[in-house]
Amino acid sequence: MSVDTSEFNKRIYELVLLIPKGKVATYGQLALMAGKPNGARLTGKAMKNTPIDMDIPSHRVVNAAGNTAPDYVFESKRHQRAMLEAEGVIFKVNGNINMKICKWNP
Angle between helices 27-34 and 40-49 (to 10 degrees): 100
In the complex, least distance from residue 78 CB atom to DNA, rounded to whole angstroms? 11
Helix (H, G, I), strand (E, B) or coil at 63: coil
E-strand stretches of the chain: 25-26, 61-62
Q: Which x/- pattern, by CB under 7 A, does the window 6-35 give for DNA?
A: --------------------xxx-------
Residues 78-97 that bind DNA (CB under 7 A): 80
Closest by CA position to 104, among listed 35, 12, 48, 30: 30
The Cα–Cα gap between 82 and 60 comes to 11
Q: Which x/- pattern, by CB under 7 A, does the window 33-72 give for DNA?
A: ---x-xxxxxxxx-xx-x-x-----xx-x-xxx---xx--
Binding site for DNA (CB under 7 A): 1-2, 4-5, 26-28, 36, 38-45, 47-48, 50, 52, 58-59, 61, 63-65, 69-70, 73-74, 80
